[in-house]
Structure 1
Amino acid sequence: MTEPGHEILIKDAVVFLFAAGVVVPVFRYLKLPAVVGFMLSGIALGPYALGQLAHQYHFLEYFSISEPEAAAPFAELGVLFLLFLLGLEFSFEKLWGLRRAVFGAGGLQAGVSALAIGLIAWQVGLPAEAAIICGLALALSSTAIVMQLLIEQKQAAQPVGRAALAVLLFQDILVAPILIFVGFVNIEAGTNLTAVLLEALVNGVIAIVAIMIIGRFGLRRMFSLAAAAGGRDFLMALTLLTVVGAAAITATAGLSLALGAFLAGLLLGETEFKHQTEVDLEPFKGILLGLFFMTVGMGLDLPSILSQPWVILAGLGALLLLKLFIGFGALRLFAGKTPMSIEAAFLLAPAGEFAFVVIAAATAVGALAPEPGGMMAAIAGLSMLLIPILGKVGTFIADRLRAQEPAHTLEEDFSDLEGHVIIAGFGRVGHAVARILAAEEADVVALERSAVNVSRARNAGWRAYLGDAARQEILHSAGADGARLFVVTVDDVSAAEGMVRAFHKLRPEVPIIARARDHEHAQRLIDAGAKEVIPDAVESGLQMAGRTLHEFGYNDETIRDRLAAERDEEYHRIGT
């Protein structure tokens, strides 16, 4: 017979899966980010909403989470997987290149934010120790939510993503010293503070060195052995061991779990098992990270918020404004230009998940009273809920500032050129289009936002230039007035839409051919002015279907006819 505790656990699992499989997709259908969907689900199904009403209406127990604390360990795994997969995308060279932003922008943002918030908390009546803890806790930002949003928007590797990651990495490093400080607040008299700090520092260095040694000299051998022994089951087990093991090593040394997972990802990213690991872990990351966001929502104490709404809203507004200005200043000094700094500062202004850890630790040792601790948690939770909205506001302002920057022109002027093709985006797809057009002796002018891609294209003899094709002055320099065709090959949703809209405004009669990620993106490009749209998902599916039919023995003519009919049907759905 099932024990009562197991019944509650199973019931909570069913409620969570209902939220993940039904409620969150509804939010996504309404154009809300998955992060917001999970957090709102956590609020609604948590102990302060339906869970509170379940005491009066018992049937609501079957629609609410009864034991949120039981989900915490699994939710933590979601954050670990996120940081691990993020580490896979980076390299030690890229990380070393971020050192100025990590220690400059990260250090300045965290230090000044903690000092300013602490002073305000002291001024409103908190004891000095509690005020310092308040400043340290709320100065941190949300690694999980910010990086998940940037990954969803394909901006994690862009300048704004790198700048945000640099600051977040420094904050992750700060978690251990902050928790050590919280423990020192009630430390016994006579304890040698210098010895304790030195021991913590030594333990941290030993932990990082241990992870590096294991990764450099043992990781590839272990994965090769697992692959030779039988494939994906063993590789999955070893991957989980790598993530959790590295996190456990850093946690034992007093550092954050997330830092260990990130280092493990960096090391595994140097091996040939990188891509297989990404594919294997992606589903686990999504569902467990969703559970983490739900636990954040469940942690919002609605009765406390409703009992003192103006106090909490004032604290929320002060926190966001303060961290926004400080973050912008730090990023502008050490990380990059004004538009990017504003965009990243909006993402980093809210508090983060480590605020709850610091508040809980301080409350447990008596350094922070329960009432101010509850208010701090409410402010932190509400601010995290606003991250997707603030991210959109930051992007909107940054785009407007970029549009107002002084006009730039290409190093060569093609404004008098006639009958040529302008290609926006000169990566692999842009190269392929250009090669075919060049074979038919068509003139091509390529615009690319990556200096590296431009350099490679110029070395290969292409007429490629650094410039944003969403800027009308750049399009004029590229010869938009005489262009015969405009081709957009970038896969960034908002960037492609901006390029199509800008060219269509200049030359509405000229055909625009654009690359889209899916049907939804294709429709947006058509609305912006594109004449022909090529969805990657459709073309990939058709190519795979064609190869499959070939393997079944169909002749080439039959395959072409079948794919042509399917292509016409798919493109008819999106109106091209």
Structure 2
Amino acid sequence: MTLAELAVTIGVLGALGLVASRFGLSAIPAYLFAGILLGPNEPDFLKVVQPSEVTDFVAEIGLLFLLFFLGLEFSVDRLVRSGRHVGLGGAVDLLVNAGLGLLVGLAAFGPTFAAFVLAACIYVSSSAIAVKALIDLRRLADDETDLVLAILLFEDIAIAAVLGFVATGGGTVATTAGVTLKALAFVAASLAVSRWLGAWLGRLLGRLELEFFLLAVFGFVIAMSAVAKELDMSEAIGALMAGVVLSDSGVREEIEQRFFAVRDVFAALFFFAFALTIELDRTGDVGWIVLLAVAATLVGKLGVGVVAGRAGGFSVRQGVNAGAALVAHGEFTIILAQLAAGNAALAAAHRDDIVAFAGLYVLATATLGVVLMKESKRLGRFLTPARAPG
């Protein structure tokens, strides 16, 4: 990506984001549309940016900061309060949405490994899109957001095990269990550091001049992500837990204030870079799979929100709010598809179909998910109208 291409990209992102805000929508679908518009799709005269190592790197930084900010909101105290949601909500989500995803996978590919990959793509929601939309809609403080964050955390841990499985074509049970145990140990260690060393880290950071404060926080996020990747987990878990570690440090508000702009700029570029991988010309081949998967996602995620919400003490309306926040799919779906594309154990036709499916499916669910989040309170009132007195 050249400086001229970057200038055009920023201009289009800003313009489309402004249009979206005028209609009361999150800017996420606008950023995705910008990537499709300027990316390697037709028409040729609009092909401004090609996917490259530069766009991949920028997207990775954007993803890390989005999840870091999620972790900042997910303190140990909040995790303790929502602990039952992690187990209950996460288990219900896994059972329902992985199950529905597997049914779609079997319909598309039959009893093959590709069906399992498709199930994983459909199961896991987008933490990045959900968090960005929660921020945009000012819902981080809502009670039911605890349930959303708990389910997303459960999914992140589950996908940490699935990533290696998809990349290798089905590793041994021992290998999969090993990755899962490492993810759980990493999360547990991060929570322990947050509880016992969080205040000390806050005092240490608080003594630094602004320049070194920024460098220290940035370095901590990258280091935690690098450690997670070295342990064969997703770097996203590292960024998430970096936020958790610093959530009770006493400098959370300053971190948020200093890094808000960085997060928003890189988040926009993350969604843009992701959209560069969407192949619109494959719609005819995988369109029916996308439609079936979207229908399953709407039923599964909204249903899980209501069922897990009711079990967790929330109202049906709050459950609808939670379920709507889980509809959008994004970064993990694309990562799974990319890993599958390099797996020789999958048939070449299946690899191509999964990659094409992932891009179109994410575009559809990201748009629908953000719209549903915006209208979820109205939808909840429609589904459970207030009873007339008397």
- TM-score, scaled relative to structure 1: 0.61
User: 1:84 Cα shift?
Assistant: 1.9
Report the 3-state secondary structure (helix = DSSP H, G, I; strand = E; otherwise coil) of the residue aligned with 1:255: coil
**In structure 1, how many angstroms separate the alpha carbons of the residues matched to 2:220 and 2:254?**
14
**In structure 1, how many angstroms separate the alpha carbons of the residues matched to 2:74 and 2:105?**
38
Give matches, 1:559-574, under 5 Å.
none
Q: 1:348 aligns with which of 323, 326, 337?
A: 326
Amino acid in structure 1 at the alignment position of 2:32: M
**In structure 2, how many angstroms separate the alpha carbons of the residues matched to 1:311 and 1:83?**
29
Q: Could you say which residue in structure 2 is the equivalent of 1:25?
A: 18
8 A contact 2:194–2:248 mirrored in 1: no
**In structure 2, how many angstroms separate the alpha carbons of the residues matched to 1:177 and 1:303?**
32
Question: Would the alpha carbon gap of residues 244 and 405 (structure 1) be closer, same or farther in structure 2, given more than 3 Å must change?
Answer: farther
Instruction: Confirm whether residue 289 of structure 1 aligns to residue 267 of structure 2.
Output: yes
**In structure 2, how many angstroms separate the alpha carbons of the residues matched to 1:335 and 1:294?**
38
Report Cα offsets for 1:5-64 as digits up to 9, x if no partner: xxx4323322222123333223323433222221221221121145xx14xxxxx45xx2
Report the 3-state secondary structure (helix = DSSP H, G, I; strand = E; otherwise coil) of the residue aligned with 2:7: helix
Give matches, 1:54-133, under 5 Å.
54=45, 60-61=46-47, 64-67=48-51, 69-133=53-117
Report the 3-state secondary structure (helix = DSSP H, G, I; strand = E; otherwise coil) of the residue aligned with 1:386: helix
Report Cα offsets for 1:404-458 as digits up to 9, x if no partner: 25759xxxxxxxxxxxxxxxxxxxxxxxxxxxxxxxxxxxxxxxxxxxxxxxxxx
**In structure 2, how many angstroms separate the alpha carbons of the residues matched to 1:99 and 1:221?**
25
Q: 2:351 aligns with which of 367, 370, 376?
A: 370
Amino acid in structure 2 at the alignment position of 1:99: G
**In structure 1, how many angstroms separate the alpha carbons of the residues matched to 2:201 and 2:305?**
42
Give matches, 1:71-220, under 5 Å.
71-185=55-169, 187=171, 193-208=172-187, 211-212=190-191
The number of aligned residues is 386
**In structure 2, how many angstroms separate the alpha carbons of the residues matched to 1:321 and 1:194?**
31
**In structure 2, how many angstroms separate the alpha carbons of the residues matched to 1:28 and 1:70?**
28
Q: Which has the higher contact order (CA 8 A, sep 6+)?
A: 2
Report Cα offsets for 1:52-90 as digits up to 9, x if no partner: x14xxxxx45xx212355312222222222222232233
User: 1:232 Cα shift?
Assistant: 0.6
User: 1:288 Cα shift?
Assistant: 0.6
Amino acid in structure 2 at the alignment position of 1:358: L
User: 1:282 Cα shift?
Assistant: 0.4
Q: Could you say which residue in structure 2 is the equivalent of 1:381?
A: 363
Question: Would the alpha carbon gap of residues 205 and 306 (structure 1) be closer, same or farther in structure 2, given more than 3 Å must change?
Answer: closer
Instruction: Confirm whether residue 264 of structure 1 aligns to residue 246 of structure 2.
Output: no
- TM-score, scaled relative to structure 2: 0.88
Instruction: Confirm whether residue 279 of structure 1 aligns to residue 257 of structure 2.
Output: yes
Q: Could you say which residue in structure 2 is the equivalent of 1:395?
A: 377
Question: Would the alpha carbon gap of residues 332 and 218 (structure 1) be closer, same or farther in structure 2, given more than 3 Å must change?
Answer: closer
**In structure 1, how many angstroms separate the alpha carbons of the residues matched to 2:236 and 2:117?**
21
Instruction: Confirm whether residue 41 of structure 1 aligns to residue 41 of structure 2.
Output: no
Amino acid in structure 2 at the alignment position of 1:354: F
Cα RMSD of the aligned pairs, angstroms, is 2.7
Report the 3-state secondary structure (helix = DSSP H, G, I; strand = E; otherwise coil) of the residue aligned with 2:144: helix
Q: 1:237 aligns with which of 193, 215, 229?
A: 215
Q: Could you say which residue in structure 2 is the equivalent of 1:305?
A: 283
Structure with greater proportional helix content: 2
Report the 3-state secondary structure (helix = DSSP H, G, I; strand = E; otherwise coil) of the residue aligned with 1:159: coil
Question: Would the alpha carbon gap of residues 344 and 407 (structure 1) be closer, same or farther in structure 2, given more than 3 Å must change?
Answer: farther
Question: Would the alpha carbon gap of residues 365 and 318 (structure 1) be closer, same or farther in structure 2, given more than 3 Å must change?
Answer: same
Structure with greater proportional strand content: 1
User: 1:363 Cα shift?
Assistant: 2.1
**In structure 2, how many angstroms separate the alpha carbons of the residues matched to 1:45 and 1:216?**
46
Give matches, 1:448-487, under 5 Å.
none
Report Cα offsets for 1:115-136 as digits up to 9, x if no partner: 2221332134434321112112
User: 1:259 Cα shift?
Assistant: 2.4
Amino acid in structure 2 at the alignment position of 1:372: D
Give matches, 1:221-232, under 5 Å.
224-225=203-204, 227-228=206-207, 231-232=209-210
Amino acid in structure 2 at the alignment position of 1:34: A
Amino acid in structure 2 at the alignment position of 1:18: G
8 A contact 2:100–2:296 mirrored in 1: no
User: 1:137 Cα shift?
Assistant: 1.7
8 A contact 2:51–2:276 mirrored in 1: no
**In structure 2, how many angstroms separate the alpha carbons of the residues matched to 1:196 and 1:284?**
37
Report Cα offsets for 1:91-133 as digits up to 9, x if no partner: 2121111111111111111222112221332134434321112
Report the 3-state secondary structure (helix = DSSP H, G, I; strand = E; otherwise coil) of the residue aligned with 1:404: coil
User: 1:324 Cα shift?
Assistant: 3.2
8 A contact 1:42–1:296 mirrored in 2: yes
Report Cα offsets for 1:252-291 as digits up to 9, x if no partner: 2233323222222222122232221111110000001111
Larger CA deviation: 150-159 vs 377-386: 377-386
**In structure 2, how many angstroms separate the alpha carbons of the residues matched to 1:314 and 1:194?**
30
Question: Would the alpha carbon gap of residues 205 and 163 (structure 1) be closer, same or farther in structure 2, given more than 3 Å must change?
Answer: closer
User: 1:306 Cα shift?
Assistant: 4.8
**In structure 1, how many angstroms separate the alpha carbons of the residues matched to 2:28 and 2:108?**
33
Q: Percent identity?
A: 25
8 A contact 2:205–2:213 mirrored in 1: yes
Amino acid in structure 1 at the alignment position of 2:355: G
